[in-house]
Structure 1
Amino acid sequence: MLSERWAVVPLRIFLAVLFGVLVLLQVMSLPGQFAHMAQESPDMAHLRWPLTAITVFWVVCAQVVVVCTWKLLTLVNRDRIFTQSSLKWVDAIVWAIAAAWAVLLGVFLAVGFNADDPGLPLLMFLVLTSVTVLGLLMVVMRALLRQATTLRTDMEAVI
């Protein structure tokens, strides 16, 4: 259990930094970036608010994953990770990834059907594939956590 304790503190520090950067991105950078885009390319100005909304939504999904990971780390510290309460946090991570994936799929299809150059659709396909792998990995990890929780509950009942 000592090795987990050494990993939990730095992970929490990096999660806090990541959350702070995500808030800055959400509040300052993304709206400013798309406002600048609208000024520089008036023909693309109609995309300012949809792109702002979509990217802020993705940041919110990432923030949900960060908060849920923090809560799971709390359960690890309390040696309560193999309980039913941990499953709700993993479920929230899976749903956040699924929501981000669904919006990403829509953006990928919109960009793919309107692209002149294959570069952006290929990059978006790479990101879509990566998010798909991450989501499916979380589904598998959730199943493993559920099995471990059941085994631990059974073992505690025997002892």
Structure 2
Amino acid sequence: MLPEQRAVVPLKIFLVVLFGILVVFQTLSLPGQFRYQAEQHPEDADVRWILTGIAVFLVLCVQVVVVATWKLLGLVSADRIFTRDSLVWVDVILGAIAAAWLVVLAIFLWVGFHADDPGAPMLLLLILVAGTVLGLLMVVMRALLRQATTLRTDMDAVI
């Protein structure tokens, strides 16, 4: 058994755990937190639903990445990772990262113009830079996967 195949099963287990935790956050924890904040600070209660929607959307983006990673792991297990099918799932991951990045950028800009202290804008800037690095890394990985897929297709044609 190849080392990457030995990593597939534990990774799938942790993806299921991660997905479950994300569902709990999405349905219970985040809405409950924003409800509690609205009760404690009634003057800010009008943003409760906006913040809940944004938080649920960002968690949804992570869930999309988890599902796409699961599908890619299935392709690895079936020794079909170097096919055009894998590029579709990498594109799904890139789309989810881009959507989340755009939402965080909008939040960063809004908070940046309304913040009293630099803490929140700096944290959002860190998240933006990390998201940019992750997105660009995925672009590079997609290019490598595309090259490997082309080489594999060429090799299969020769054999």
Would the TM-score normalized by the shorter structure come out above 0.5?
yes
**Coarse TM-score class (shorter-chain normalised):** over 0.9
Shift, 1:18, TM fit: 0.2
Distance 1:43 1:136 in 2: 40
Aligned pairs (5 A) from 1:26-45? 26-45=26-45
In the other structure, the counterpart of 1:90 is 90
1:20 lines up with 2:44 in the alignment = no
Residue equivalent to 2:133:
133
Offset of residue 90 of structure 1: 0.3
Q: Which runs of 5+ in 1 are unaligned?
A: none
What's the CA shift string for 1:64-98, capped at 9, x where partnerless?
00000000000000000000001100000000000
Q: Which runs of 5+ in 2 are unaligned?
A: none
* CA–CA separation in structure 2 for the residues paired with 1:150 and 1:25: 40
- Is residue 2:116 matched to residue 1:116? yes
How many angstroms does 1:5 deviate by? 1.7
- Return the letter of the residue paired with 1:17: V
| Partner residue, 1:49 | 49
TM-score, length basis structure 2: 0.98
Distance 1:119 1:96 in 2: 26
Calculate percent identity across the aligned residue pairs: 68
Other-structure match for 2:77: 77
| CA distance, structure 1, for counterparts of residue 91 and residue 5 of structure 2 | 24
Deviation readout 1:2-47 (Å, 9 max, x if unpaired):
2012111110010000000000000000110000000001111111
- Counterpart secondary structure, 1:148: helix
Aligned residue type for 1:111: V
Query: How large is the RMSD of aligned CA atoms in angstroms?
Result: 0.7
Q: Which aligned segments of 4 or more residues in structure 1 are displaced greater than 3 angstroms?
A: none
Question: What number of residue pairs does the alignment pair up?
Answer: 159
Cα drift, residue 135 of structure 1: 0.6
Code of the aligned partner of 1:108 = F
Q: Distance in 2 between matches of 1:137 and 1:51?
A: 29
Q: 2-side partners of 1:31 and 1:51: how far apart?
A: 9
CA distance in 2, matches of 1:17, 1:91: 24
Distance 2:128 2:135 in 1: 10
How many angstroms apart in 2 are the aligned matches of 1:150 and 1:90? 16
* SS of equivalent residue, structure 2 residue 116: coil
SS at match of 1:117: coil
* TM-score (structure 1 length as normaliser): 0.98
